[in-house]
Amino acid sequence: ASAKEVLVVLAIFFLLMFSDNFRFLKDKKVLVALLIGFMLLVPYMAYYKSATGSFLPRSTTTSAALGESLASNQWSWSNFLFFIKYLPTYLQLPWFILFLIGLVIIIANLVLGLDLAIKSKDDSENETRKNIFLLLWILLPLFFFSYPLGIAPGNYGEPRFILEALPAIFFVMALGLNRVHDLLIKYGKGFALTFIILIILLGIFYQLRLADASLKSKATSFSQVKQAGLWIKENSNDTDWIIVAS
């Protein structure tokens, strides 16, 4: 695991900070959970301190790189949008449409009920708070991983960087699917159910087609490594110690 897994925790923290005005820090269960989490981290932090001189070396490096990027004004919205373009590519058309429908629902909910969600203690506002959490869960990884594009040579943007946002994206897709079902239910439960199943199956077909094309395109991507390995095997003894860069 690495620091990027903390992004989900940050999404929860920001939600609680804005909606609960730090009252959650008075909850004994939350304090106990934080204490247990810290105790689990102590052995790792102690080892890293003795081995590298830093309690959290990866976080220290990341923070330094982020500071460098912001100080030199290397971050831009184009970096953030670099990851947005991956969504239609990897969700594919049927599921991307569902995602857009769900996203519109969330944005509309926030525009109409954000102030109430922050101030109200009523459970009826929980839906808006859930939407805030989903939006934070999606946006935080995109903002977090957009900063290396400004400091690395070329565009260091990879699809794997949005993996942390995918669970929330799937939840948003489910909201869109549920909305489609609600619109179609007036034409009959059987019709609505059949349409929903067809959308899911169509999305699966698109995903399988994308996966097949991706796998075939990568089939020979490491052929040079294979050739190097075969050459080493032919020109070395079984007892030799071999160090390679790949």
Average model confidence (pLDDT) for the chain? 80
Calculate what percentage of the chain has a pLDDT beyond 70.
75
Confidence of residue 19 (pLDDT cuts 50, 70, 90): low
Q: Which pLDDT value is given to residue 1?
A: 45
Q: Which pLDDT value is given to residue 200?
A: 94
Average pLDDT over every residue of 203-221: 91
pTM, rounded to two decimals: 0.74
Report whether pLDDT(73) > 80: no
Helices 166-184, 189-218: inter-axial angle, 10-degree rounding: 150
> What's the pLDDT tens digit per position in 164-202?
889 999 999 999 999 999 999 999 999 999 999 999 999
Q: Which pLDDT value is given to residue 148?
A: 60
Q: Which pLDDT value is given to residue 30?
A: 79
Average pLDDT over every residue of 130-152: 76
Report whether pLDDT(76) > 70: no
Which of residues 228 and 119 earns the better pLDDT score? 228
Reduced 3-state DSSP string for 104-153: HHHHHHHHHHHHHHHHCCCHHHHHHHHHHHHHHHHHHHHHHHHCHHHHCC
